[in-house]
Amino acid sequence: MSQTATRPSHIHVTPNESGFGAEITGLDLSQPLPPDVLAEVKQAWADHAVVWFPDQPLTHDQLEAFTLQIGPFGHDPFIAPMEDRPHILELRRAPDEKARNFGAGWHSDWSFQDAPPAATLLHSKVVPPVGGDTLYADCARAYDALSGTMKNLLDGLVAIHSAALPYGTKGVFAQETEARTMKIIVSEEAESPVYTAGIEGMTQAESAAILGFLYNHMTRDEFVYRHKWRANMLTMWDNRCTLHFADGGYDGHLRVMHRTTVAGDAPH
């Protein structure tokens, strides 16, 4: 009498009720993961889009090493990296800063690049006692919820993404008057048709109508997961099927995070 073999799991995955987002425990990210364990981590990431690993006090070397197990580093423009760490961005906001918190707007990281990053990894070093959540929107579920008519309308449309609005010489960061700990590099290189500026072949009004509907639809409560940070937590998300938003609410408190990205492929 034969029995069906059940493949043992090396990690423990606890998904959110919706299936979007999951906690992964039972492993030590400070050490290289064996191939079978790494495969389980990547599968959980593919299944849930946003995954987080609590209680992982990682050094810079260890954060970089785990990132490279997921894939090669992505390119991070317009923000100065840490000294001697060209692939790590320090997202630091001092207690007395008045500037808007970095990432306070729905977006997918570097979507204006020819090959945007597949993954972003964010490691918490100093977590404020209040605020500082990150919100994630499940774009795959949002798409599935559209009517067939809307899906047909969207099929074949090409959106134009640009870095000019935030990072151009006349963009949001260039016009800031409040001091900011993070060094934002304002550049003319951002001022080319390379976040979502319009839809090819449509007027600005037509683009705004469709994009405005989609932005509101994707970020409805039923598609959004609010992530609560704890110190020494590593979170990894899929930029290809999610949007995220860095919430504030922690003025007067220090917040320090370290970020890496994993290179992706050109959209097609």
3-state secondary structure of 212: helix
Which class would CATH give 12-261? alpha beta
**What's the pLDDT tens digit per position in 69-82?**
999 999 887 788 89
* 30-34, 94-98, 169-173, 208-212: the lowest-pLDDT one: 169-173
- Residue 159: pLDDT band (50, 70, 90) is confident
Note the pLDDT of residue 188.
41
Where are the strands (E) in the chain, listed by range?
Answer: 12-15, 22-25, 50-53, 89-93, 119-126, 134-138, 159-161, 196-199, 224-227, 234-238, 242-246, 255-262
**Of the candidates 97, 251, 247, 256, the residue with the CA atom closest to the CA atom of residue 180:** 97
Q: What is the pTM of this model?
A: 0.84
Indicate the burial class of 114 (C-beta count within 10 angstroms; 0-12, 13-18, 19 or more): exposed
- The domain limits of the chain are 12-261
